[in-house]
Chain A
């Protein structure tokens, strides 16, 4: 069964450093997303991406964040200068269509900023 894969599973970084979280969405999907889950809190939407551009973003997704689909398979989330409060589980997701179609989630990358 096709699945969304994310690497690494766990990343530790120092405050102020840049991190790139990587995702390989399901191959025929067209819509890509990043969500995050701070420990003990709800899953929050960060950004959605379609046709090589951001289609929606939340208030959380400020100038420190960027997304890219550098080739036909990868989808990345970059945090330019990490803060302690960026520590969270980051989930990548993809869907074939929008709105009435379920999103499939990866297993997540746990980011720890120290």
Chain B
């Protein structure tokens, strides 16, 4: 069965500092991995995805994520945080082996960037 873990409910970081939002996954086959961001009273916005190829993927708003197969992780990173990055971040996975098209989401991590 597929699952996603986001071990931190809340991450606080000072503006200008690097940020990391952690995600680990469990699938029976190979994963397709996604990060979404949710601002207050808004829907989920796609940030980036890992499908295949280079383990470091770059996405919107300066975010990037590194796929680590041995650690089954897909942590979201940004070199320099902005106050406007404060939001709820969700990691999600699809399992290639099952062929299921639905996304399994983590519980979300609330990022607060402190001015």
Flag whether A75 is at the interface (Cβ < 8 A).
Answer: no
Flag whether B10 is at the interface (Cβ < 8 A).
Answer: no
Query: Among A6, A45, A108, which residue has its beta carbon within 8 angstroms of that of B103?
Result: A45
Interface residues of B in 94-115 (CB under 8 A from A): 94, 96, 99-108
Flag whether A48 is at the interface (Cβ < 8 A).
Answer: yes
Interface residues of B in 38-84 (CB under 8 A from A): 41-46, 49, 51-52
Q: Which residue of B lies closest to A100 (CB)?
A: B51
Query: Among A41, A42, A55, A108, which residue has its beta carbon within 8 angstroms of that of B43?
Result: A108
A58 and B41 CA atoms in complex are apart in Å by 25
- A interface, CB within 8 angstroms of B: 4, 6, 31, 33, 35, 41-45, 48, 55-56, 58, 91, 93, 98-100, 102-108
A8 and B85 CA atoms in complex are apart in Å by 28
* 16 A–B contacts from the bound complex (CB under 8 Å): A41-B107, A42-B90, A42-B107, A43-B90, A43-B92, A44-B105, A45-B102, A56-B101, A56-B102, A91-B43, A100-B32, A100-B49, A102-B46, A102-B49, A103-B103, A105-B43
Query: Among A4, A33, A42, A108, which residue has its beta carbon within 8 angstroms of that of B102?
Result: A33
Flag whether B25 is at the interface (Cβ < 8 A).
Answer: no
A107 and B44 CA atoms in complex are apart in Å by 7
Q: When the two chains form their complex, are residues B101 and A107 in contact, meaning their CB atoms are under 8 A apart?
A: no
A93 and B43 CA atoms in complex are apart in Å by 10
Closest-CB distance, A108 to chain B (whole angstroms): 5
